[in-house]
Each structure stands twice: as C-alpha cells, then as structure tokens.
Structure 1
Amino acid sequence: MMKNPLKSSRSSVQAKDAYDDSEALSTIARSVSMSAGNSKQKRIAEDVLRYGNVKVAAEVFTFRELAAATDNFDPDLLIGEGGFGRVYQGRLKKTNQIVAMKQLDMTGSQGNQEFLAEVLTLSLVDHPNLLSLIGYCADGRQRILVHEYMPNGSLEHHLFDVSPDRKPLDWYTRMRIVTGAAQGLEYLHDAVNPPIIYRDFKATNILLDEHFNPKLSDFGLAKLGPEGKDHVSSTRVMGTYGYCAPEYAQTGKLTIKCDVYSFGVVLLEIIAGRRAIDNTRTTEEQNVVSWAKPYFKDKSKFNMLVDPLLEGNYPEKGLHQAVAVAAMCLQEEPSTRPLISDVVTALEYLTMELE
C-alpha cells in the first residue's frame, strides 16, 4: 500500500446491538421460505433465523398502504428498473415521508432469495454509507422493500452518457463519492461479524443523496462471509459481468477480496468515465480493465486514463494516487490485493490533500 501518515482506518459506526426478541426476522424467514422449497432458499432462511436476534427497526407495511403511497404503482412514479424488479418513488401517508419502494419480481427464481438476503443484511448493519431500510411488505406473494429516497439517483447516471446540458462530476466530488463507498464496504467487511461479502459492487448500486454523499444499495446478492475459512464455495456465480473478480468467475470461490476487485473496477470507471463493459467501443477498448492495464506501468501515461469531461481539471498527484489504488485492487492474484481498510486509508488521505 502507498505510504502516507494515516493509520489504517476503521469505520466508527458499529453493528447494531443484539436483543432477545428475534420474532421479526424469524417471521419473515418462515413466511417467505414456506413456499420456496429449494435448498438455497432454505439456507438463506436458516441464516435469517441464525442471526435473527438483531434489532429490526424496519416497519411492516401492508400492500394496500404501499399501493396508496404510489397511486397504485403509477408508471409516472417509476424511477428505476432492473433484474430485481421495479423501483417507485412514493410518499408514506402516515408520515408524509418520500421513499423509494423496490418491488421484487417474484416471477424470477431469485425473488425470495434476494428479499431474504436484503432484509437480513440491512437488519444486521447500520452505517452512513449504506442505504437505510425503512420497512418491508410480505403480503401474500408481494415482496417490497421500502428505502430512504436518494434524490440524485445512481453514480452511473452522473458518470456515463452525460448530456451537454448536465454538469459532469468534478474530480473532488468523484473522489469523495468513491471514498464514502469504500467506507461502506469497509464496514461490511470489518465491523460486522461474520463479515458480509457484498458481491455486487458497481456504479448502479451506489446511490447519491442531495449532497452527493454515496450509499451502497441492493443487497440481494450479499452473502455472510467465512468464519475461519479462506473462501466460500458457491455453486453459482452471481454478480455483474465486468465487475466480478476473475477467480470468482472461474471457480466460484468467494472472499472479501472479490469485493476489492469490484471496487477497483468502479474506481477505474470514476477516473476514466468509461463503463466496465462498453460494446459500443472498439474490441480492444470494450473492457475498461483490459484497456487500462497497459497504462498502469507508466506514470507518464496516467493522464490517458482520465475522463475527457474533466477537461484537465484534476491534481496530477491525486490522479497518480487514485490510479495506483485502482491498479492494486485489480491484481489478478487475490492475496496481493489490499484490504478495503487500506484502500479507505489511502483514499481518505487523498481527499484530505484535495481539501
């Protein structure tokens, strides 16, 4: 790791305190898994029951309440859509709070699994750089997660395909966003026991509030990490093409270092303003990691990696440090990648210098 005067950082926010009443999570696990049946869903339900002695501040909503909050899920209130389902903006009648509601697609095989994984993860954690779970709905086959609303949308929206009438993110804002995202990941790896492997770190899952503070979202693929083991063997590789660590994609062996690799991809996207995979580019430039790696060997060429939208407005020393961090995270061998806590230390030092 690069030299700097800061000691290794640890997130100051601790995991939620446990308490005796585990009824909330246990009820979710049992109700969701009764109709599931397959072994994967049962294992996730067992995780919920095993770690169900945590405080669940989330409110339980009825489907009728959430339908009223979104005008019966009016298409005009749709703010996002993906493999998980649809996200709507809504206003809770009781509190007048604006929220985001993720309605999971229960026709897919992952619906119950993602719902359980997200409720479990967000019930175990509490950190400023993780999206807060306000409540959930498990009426019949409906699975809806109610989150805090993030007015500036995803990082992806501000990095790629920026129209001429929109102002691109400046260098400092980019570094502040990636530092906050790293702190959220550090919390999952270091403050939670057992550690949580995020498994889906990407620009679309980094949401921004009104001040462009980042929060990690979408924990449907999150997995409780190993206790005293070197890896978790997964029978099915999950995640997004272009962000998955090579060893995980090839062997299904999952560790916290897989998240570090994905972080390196996102940091490179932030520096370059290029998507992890962009099929509109020439063959040799479609994969941002493959395109960038030759430049990692020569500091004099680091400026070739910078997003043209920055128009040269970036500190040269800051660029060198950011590229060095990305290069270390993207090492092929997992053991040579830094821990995310070391990445946070380097990035915090970098943002302090910028300030």
Structure 2
Amino acid sequence: MDKNALSAMLLFIIIFLVLSTPSKGSDPFYTDCSNGTSTSNDSLDSLFENNLNLLLENLTSITPLTGFYNTSIGENPDRVHGQALCRGDTNAITCQTCVKAAGQRLLEACNSRSAIIWYELCQVRYSIQSFFSMQVYTGKYVDRETQGKNISNPDHFNEVLMYLLRNISNEAAYDASKLMFATGEVKFSQEETIYGLVQCTRDIKEADCLSCLNQAFGDLHGCCYASQGGIILSRNCNVRYELYSFYDASGNLLTYPTSKGDKWQGWMIALAVTIPTLVLMVLIGSCVVYQRQKGGQEDDEKKSQLALLQELASPKAISMTQASELMSSEELPFLDLSIIRAATDNFADTNKLGQGGFGSVYKGVLPDGKEIAVKRLSRKSWQGLEEFKNEIILIAKLQHRNLVRLVGWGIEEEEKLLIYEFMPNKSLDFLIFDSERRTQVDWKTYFNIIGGIARGLLYLHEDSRFKIIHRDLKPSNVLLDHEMVAKISDFGMARIFGENQNTYITRRVAGTFGYMSPEYAMEGLFSIKSDVFSFGVIILEIISGKKNSGFYLTELAPNLLAYAWRLWNEGKELEFIDPLLMETTPIEEVVRCLHIGLLCIQEDPEDRPTMSFVLVLLGGEPIDLPEPKPPAFFTSKMVSVNRPLTTDPSVDQIDSIILPR
C-alpha cells in the first residue's frame, strides 16, 4: 500500500470517528420522549418509522449547511415534522456530528411520535404535529455541580448577570446578522468574569424569541440563583452562563454600569451593619420581656401558626424554593395585620367580594393606592391552614400572565391572610352564568378567555420548573382583570409532580362536583389530564351558558356533558350554543371550540389532548380534529368537609358515585 492510499485511509478513519460521536458532551443535557403531546403506548408502525428515519437523515445532512433546518416527511397520519438547531459557534462538521448523535439517541431512547433532545452543541426535535413558527415555552433546567450556591454576593451577582443576559438577548432577537445567537461577557469582580450565551430557533419571530428568553430568565433565577453556572433549555430558546469561557465565538464585552456613590468606605459599612444589629437586639429583648409579662399562654391555633412559621423557615421543608428567601423576599412581602385591617376597613362587609370554601375574600387598598384582594382564611379550619401553607410554598415564585399573582401574606393572632392582585371583573362564573352580563360580552372575549385559561394550564403542566396539577379548576377560580384577561387562581389543592411522575392516587378526593374527572372522583387518580377534563367542562359552560353541576335537574340529559354529546351525535350541535352567541359569532369557530371541549372530557384520560395540543387546535391551524369518544356520565351525592355553609362548594368530598349504563 503506497503512502497516498495509507494517508487517505487514515483520513477516512479520523473523519468516521469524528462523525460517529459528539465532540463535546457525549451525554445529552435532557431528553423528552413525549414532548408535550398525547402519545400511544403501542409500537410505532413501520411507515412512521421509515418517515422518521428519513427525516433524521435529512436533518443530519442539511442542518450543517446553515446551522438550522426544519422539514416534514410523509403523508398523514404518518407524516412527521422535524427540526434541528446547532449552537451558533459550531462548524459544519461539529454540527453534523451532534445532530447525527442526537438522532441516534432519539431512536434508541424514545418509542413515541413526538420527542426532543438537547445536547451541549445541538438540539433535535420531531413530532406528528406541525410546530414550525410556534413559540411554546417549556423550560427545563439542567442539574449540575456548579448549581451550588457558591457566590459570596448573590444579589449583586444576579444584577450583573441579568444585565449581561438582557443585553445579549436583545442582540440575538433583533440583530439579523446574529441569526438569533449571541454571546457576551461582563466583569463581576476584578478576578471573575461572567460568560453568557442565548439562542433561539430561527423559525420564530423576533418578539417571540425575546419573550421566550425572558421566561427562561425567570426559571434561571429559580434554579440557579447565585450559582457559578446555569442552563435553561426550551423548545425555542436556550440560555446558559458560566464563570469560564465555554463557547468558541467572540463574545460581546460589556461593562456593568457603576457610580462613585456605590463605593462605601469601610467605616461606613461597619456603621451600617452595627446600628441595625443593636436596634434589632433591643427590639428582640423588649419583645421577650413583654411576652413573659403577658404570660405566654398559647392556644392550639397559635401553636399551629408557630409550627407553620417554623416549617416555612426550614429550607428542608420546601422543595420549590428556600423558605428563608421567601420570608424576606421582596416578591412576596409579609404584611402586618394592622396594614391589612386598614386596607380592608377592618374587613368590612361592604368590601366583601365573595365567600369560598376556606374563608372570605375582601377588597382592599394599600397606603400607596394599590388595590388588592385579601383572602381571609377560616380561623379554626385546619384545611384552611393547609391551603394557606400550600399556596405560599407553591405559587410564590410562579409568574405568568394567566395566573393570578400572590403579592403578599400575613399570619398573626388567629388570622391567616393571602393577598392577591385585585381583579375588577370578578370571576368567570359571574360572567357566563348571568344572563344580563352575557349580553355585554362578545364571542371574541370568550374565545380569548378560553385561550388564556389554556395558556395558564400549559404553564403549570409543562412550562414552569415543576409539573403542577391544579385539581380545582372551575369558573369561580378563573378571575378576569380590567382587560378581561383570564387568570387562574386558588392553588390551595394544587400538587407538584416529579419530573418523571405522570399520575398520583390520593385517598382524600377534594374538589368541586361537576368539574372533577371521573378517574379522580371514583378512584382518587389525578394527573394533568384531570385538569384537561375540568377545562373541557368550562368550555362547554361558556358556549352554552349553563352550569354542569345543576344541569341534571332538567329532563334533557343527566348532565351538561351528556347533553352536549347527544346533540353532537345527532348533528344538532347548534342547539347547544347559547342563542346570544349565534347573532354575532363565527359559528364555525364556536363549533370548533365545542369539538375541542368534547375531546377534553373523554372518559379515558389517554384520549384527552394535552394543553399544548389544545393551544395548537385553538390557534386555527388547518388540522383535522379527531372524533371525540363518549365522556363519562356520572352523578354523585355530596358531603361537606368541615367548612361553613357556602354557595361555592370548593372543597367537597365524593360520598357515592353511580354510573348509568
């Protein structure tokens, strides 16, 4: 063998080895084999597999040309859509290597019709549903050793980090030459530099790219606050920062703005620390003396409150965020009882907005003029105390346009108080079940409300750091702001699911009759599909203007769900629609929503769509909707669970279930 032949063979072997394994990070950051769409457990058919293999081959060969590519292969129902994105600092060979490895890993790890995988240098995604040009945020954070809290000055570090990320995000989104990829660095101290990287898929709009990145920053703050590094992955955008240079591109060098007034002398710092400490010690001593003089006798309720405060103060008790941060967080301030009493005119009846299962809600105005809604939980209710704790530790850090915001809390004497942003248009039930108010609202508003609820649920199920099941979704728990934007509220019975957890069984079935899914009501089994069922009931109630919980009193059908199903099968779906909507409404859109509602209330949870798929259907894409299967028709006898009489049965327990055959 001559020298030229030997050289050619060696070169071929080197190229083969390079293309066979990723150059960086042989293991993926994250793999999601469901990708938020409803899939079957059955094996994939050969036609779909052939289409998928061909798709992955195309992504491997074409993506390296530009670093981004999406395409579709085959015909429905086996048509598959795919997309690949390489990190902006990779060359063609590295990009091809990564995409090939990602495709192989998906074939090995996933037996599903939708999946996505993230490597350090690329991401690959495929689905039976077209997702091109759609921005749906689904933040995933990557657990790494650098996510220990090792920064000495975390507040300042976070300010500098956000300054860096927001600057390079604007650059990635709006500088066309950057192809939605940007890096940058900024000095945090004389010795340390923060390096940042942001990237979006190139099929979305500039504003959607920036929106996706801004949502990722919220998750980055939650998972990696003051850590030496952090990564957030999503379908359409990725964010990463480190204290070392981890990319090959020339990053934009930024300078964090400082002022001379920020440079304190040592004696000024010592004075600023010493004086508050002395004052605090005096106050604590005074309180101790006062309590001893008072006698220090506590009843059981105060002991429960003290135990709650101790639990909130224990970082081990809270998985979602450290309670020590929560207790002093500016995002969720603790308000004195005197301030709340003054804001609500001492909980005057004229300020009372409504009565719930765990207490009353009052309107209030803070000294700065801000309007608030104060939930005053029952004084002697253990369930109220549990709801109080659950709501604080669960949604304190959740931020979304379609979730009502918890702005503060208070616990003092026998009072347990949750403070929310004020919703001037009350709750959805006031709108859809009031004949006079229904005449003042057009279909566009109703449609936007349906979409808002869907986006809020999608955030809870897929986009927040944890998978959250609401468990008590109903019109009275959907509030409307001054622009009629829907906001999901009341997370007292919500539950967090683990990363790989899909279902949970409870012995205590708590919820509201008419909105509970059959598997939850009868077996205590709940999942994200339980919320989907409740969402479907709400759609039917909006369209018809009738309550499901009281419909069985009529002779038309056992309940509203059965009535909708009967009319749909008889081709009389227009009879289900409220006549008020028929006058100025695009009937095709209403019927489509009715169709979606019926898909959501199907008896088998596996048949119900996920919220990400619901949003695709609501988006008006030319997609053929599957035919709905029958819902479960069940009625029940209700028994109250340790609560005052109220017209809002938010915490009722199933006593018996009868399924008509």
Query: Structure 1: which 5+ residue stretches go unaligned?
Result: 22-31, 351-355
Which deviates more from structure 2 when the two are superposed, residues 55-64 or residues 131-140?
A: 55-64
Residues 48 and 120 of structure 1 are in contact (CA less than 8 Å); yes or no, is this contact kept in structure 2? no
Which deviates more from structure 2 when the two are superposed, residues 276-285 or residues 336-345?
A: 276-285
Cα distance, 1:257–1:37 mapped onto 2, change above 3 Å: farther
The residue that corresponds to 2:156 in the other structure is none
The residue that corresponds to 1:71 in the other structure is 345
What is the correspondence of 1:21-36 to structure 2 with a 5 Å cutoff? 35=304
Query: Match for 2:351: what amino acid?
Result: L
Q: Which of these two proteins has the greater Rg computed from alpha carbons?
A: 2
Cα distance, 1:37–1:90 mapped onto 2, change above 3 Å: closer
Q: Distance in 2 between matches of 1:229 and 1:196?
A: 11
What is the correspondence of 1:291-330 to structure 2 with a 5 Å cutoff? 291-298=563-570, 300-330=571-601
Aligned pair 1:85/2:356, yes or no?
no
Aligned pair 1:207/2:479, yes or no?
yes
Give the SS at the match of 1:275: coil
Residues 551 and 560 of structure 2 are in contact (CA less than 8 Å); yes or no, is this contact kept in structure 1? no
Residue deviations 1:287-315, cap 9 Å, x none?
211221112334x3111110122243321
Aligned pair 1:10/2:136, yes or no?
yes
Give the SS at the match of 2:513: coil
Which of 26, 45, 52 is equivalent to 2:321? 52
The residue that corresponds to 2:151 in the other structure is none
Residues 205 and 217 of structure 1 are in contact (CA less than 8 Å); yes or no, is this contact kept in structure 2? yes
What is the correspondence of 1:42-191 to structure 2 with a 5 Å cutoff? 49-53=318-322, 56=329, 57-93=331-367, 95-163=368-436, 167-191=439-463
State the shift of 1:270 in Å: 0.8
Give the SS at the match of 2:462: helix
Which of 500, 513, 530 is equivalent to 1:258? 530
Q: Distance in 1 between matches of 2:316 and 2:606?
A: 28
Give the SS at the match of 1:90: strand
TM-score, normalised via structure 2 length:
0.47
State the shift of 1:48 in Å: 5.1
Which deviates more from structure 2 when the two are superposed, residues 268-277 or residues 116-125?
A: 116-125
Query: Match for 1:97: what amino acid?
Result: K
Q: Distance in 2 between matches of 1:250 and 1:218?
A: 23
Residues 89 and 149 of structure 1 are in contact (CA less than 8 Å); yes or no, is this contact kept in structure 2? yes
Residues 129 and 183 of structure 1 are in contact (CA less than 8 Å); yes or no, is this contact kept in structure 2? yes
Aligned length: 333
Query: Match for 2:449: what amino acid?
Result: I
The residue that corresponds to 1:271 in the other structure is 543
Give the SS at the match of 2:563: helix
Residues 225 and 256 of structure 1 are in contact (CA less than 8 Å); yes or no, is this contact kept in structure 2? no
Q: Distance in 1 between matches of 2:579 and 2:434?
A: 12
The residue that corresponds to 2:503 in the other structure is 231
Residue deviations 1:88-110, cap 9 Å, x none?
110001x2111111111132231
State the shift of 1:227 in Å: 3.4
State the shift of 1:116 in Å: 1.2
Cα distance, 1:51–1:166 mapped onto 2, change above 3 Å: closer
Residues 248 and 258 of structure 1 are in contact (CA less than 8 Å); yes or no, is this contact kept in structure 2? yes
Residues 320 and 394 of structure 2 are in contact (CA less than 8 Å); yes or no, is this contact kept in structure 1? no
Cα distance, 1:87–1:316 mapped onto 2, change above 3 Å: same
Cα distance, 1:37–1:140 mapped onto 2, change above 3 Å: closer
Residue deviations 1:304-342, cap 9 Å, x none?
110122243321221231111111101100011111111
Q: Distance in 2 between matches of 1:4 and 1:49?
A: 37
Query: Match for 1:145: what amino acid?
Result: L
The residue that corresponds to 1:29 in the other structure is none
TM-score, normalised via structure 1 length:
0.85
Cα distance, 1:36–1:143 mapped onto 2, change above 3 Å: closer
Which of 330, 339, 348 is equivalent to 2:610? 339
Query: Match for 1:58: what amino acid?
Result: L
Cα distance, 1:47–1:324 mapped onto 2, change above 3 Å: farther
Residue deviations 1:61-90, cap 9 Å, x none?
011110011111111000111112111110
State the shift of 1:348 in Å: 2.8
Query: Match for 1:121: what amino acid?
Result: L
Cα distance, 1:166–1:304 mapped onto 2, change above 3 Å: closer
State the shift of 1:129 in Å: 0.5
State the shift of 1:51 in Å: 2.0
CA RMSD, 1 decimal: 2.9
Aligned pair 1:288/2:557, yes or no?
no
- Which structure shows the higher strand fraction? 2
State the shift of 1:217 in Å: 0.7
Query: Match for 2:550: what amino acid?
Result: D
Residues 179 and 347 of structure 1 are in contact (CA less than 8 Å); yes or no, is this contact kept in structure 2? yes
